[in-house]
Amino acid sequence: MVNQKNILLGVSGGIAAYKACALASKLTQKGANVKVVMTANATKFVSPLTFQALSRNAVYTDTFDEKDPAKIAHIDLADWADLTILAPTTANLIGKLANGIADDMLSTILLATQSNVYIAPAMNVHMYAHPAVMENMKKLEAWGYHFIEPGEGYLACGYVGKGRLEEPESIIQAVEIHQNQDRLFLKGKHVLISAGPTRERIDPVRFFTNRSSGKMGYALAEAAAEAGAIVTLVSGPTSQIITHAQVKRIDVVTAEDMYQAMHRHFPTSDIVIKAAAVADYRPRVVYDQKMKKHDGDWNIVMERTKDILQSLGERKESQYLVGFAAETEKPIENGMKKLEKKKLDAIVINNVADSGAGFEGDTNIVTYMNKNKERKTITQAPKKEVAHQLLRMIKKDLKDEEQ
């Protein structure tokens, strides 16, 4: 589970820093790409050169030592990390993190990273039991940080008790177990997703449709399946998109077809994501024979299709309902209106006029907003990566509702 992962190893100033050398080595041997960030006090126990040799990467110690002028180092490292391990973690570093203090390279990165953070404390037994330290750890745990408890035994200070940094092998094992569990964060959930365009027939050879490729919806279905969900994908006409082997796909053509399929599977779903671009209008008259060219204009009268998303919003009980809003102007304002009007739990908003976002492309730029108006923007990224981030936001909102 650590093979090919970008792992940021944060080392703070305690005698147990020597164990972090073995940890860096073992992570590298397992195929991880390790970058080490040290506090100033950590460098008094172990030389940065030691970690550089073990990780085969530059070691970071100073916020203002910008190694690449094209990047802001602490933000670049925060974004680079797939996961972060703090070992050893002193009482001082725990206190900083719990109170939002960012006064050196490591603490600044920790406020910026979105990766999972694993904290392996190491300190004197009485320091570990101090009410302030315990309170800080409880706060961090409630925020989603993961603790690898210290072992009991003889400590460098001469005391015997809890506070000894866990062994490197045990730290890696704890991270791998959690990573495996975390990977299946939607295990057992029934997820219903719509994707692609619809087609509204005019005659046997003509139809109205739109530019939706279905790529975002298919990416969501694949990401949900990889997260352990039981996935049903209701798809309009798409081409050259492979359906994940664990996804049940239902092919539809018209808005009415999609309406029926979504409502049929809605009652048994836990999470419903309507990513499809459904036709708002269809021809009032559909011709059985091909319409021939004739002099003058051809006027086609259009009528409204059923609003699938609003109808689901009116019928939802325990389902978590997420809509998409593809906008070209005032995206946040229009997305918020749609969120409220259609009784959604969350909405994914994007400006399809932006470069790197919207239909047909392989990347997207979106803003996720929940019913509490909390919002987070996902900058340009492959649609599969956007899908993973959106599903984690949905899972977090579900967890918050359950508490």
Question: Is residue 1 a part of any domain in this protein?
Answer: no
Q: Quote the percentage of the chain above a pLDDT of 90.
A: 76
Structure tokens at 275: 């990513």
**147 and 231 inside one domain:** no
Query: Phi and psi (nearest 5°) for 193?
Result: -130, 140
Q: Are 255 and 308 in contact (CB under 8 A)?
A: yes
Q: Is the pLDDT of residue 403 over 60?
A: no
Q: Of the residues 183, 216, 241, which one is the last residue of a structural domain?
A: 183
Which CATH number characterizes residue 201's domain?
3.40.50.10300
Tell me the C-alpha distance between 68 and 344, whole Å.
44
> Any known ligand binding at 290?
yes
Give this prediction's pTM: 0.66
**77 and 135 inside one domain:** yes
**89 and 225 inside one domain:** no
157, 250, 253, 398: the catalytic one is: 157
**Domain span including residue 134:** 6-183
> Any known ligand binding at 342?
yes
Q: Quote the percentage of the chain above a pLDDT of 70.
A: 97
Compute the average pLDDT of residues 110-135.
93
Tell me the C-alpha distance between 251 and 241, whole Å.
13
Compute the average pLDDT of residues 206-216.
93
> Any known ligand binding at 64?
no
**H/E stretch holding 302:** strand 302-304
Compute the average pLDDT of residues 10-30.
95
Query: What is residue 292's DSSP assignment?
Result: P
**32 and 96 inside one domain:** yes
Q: Is the pLDDT of residue 161 over 70?
A: no
- Inter-axis angle of helices 91-98 and 105-112, to 10 degrees? 40
- CA dihedral sign, ordered 330, 336, 342, 344: positive
Angular region, 330: left φ>0, alpha ψ -120 to 50, beta rest: left
State CA 1 to chain mean position distance. 18
Tell me the C-alpha distance between 325 and 254, whole Å.
20
Catalytic residue status for 157: yes
Q: CB under 8 Å, gap of 24 or more: what pairs does 139-142 form? A: 139/98, 140/94, 140/97, 140/98
Q: Is the pLDDT of residue 86 over 80?
A: yes
Model confidence band, residue 158 (pLDDT cutoffs 50, 70, 90): confident
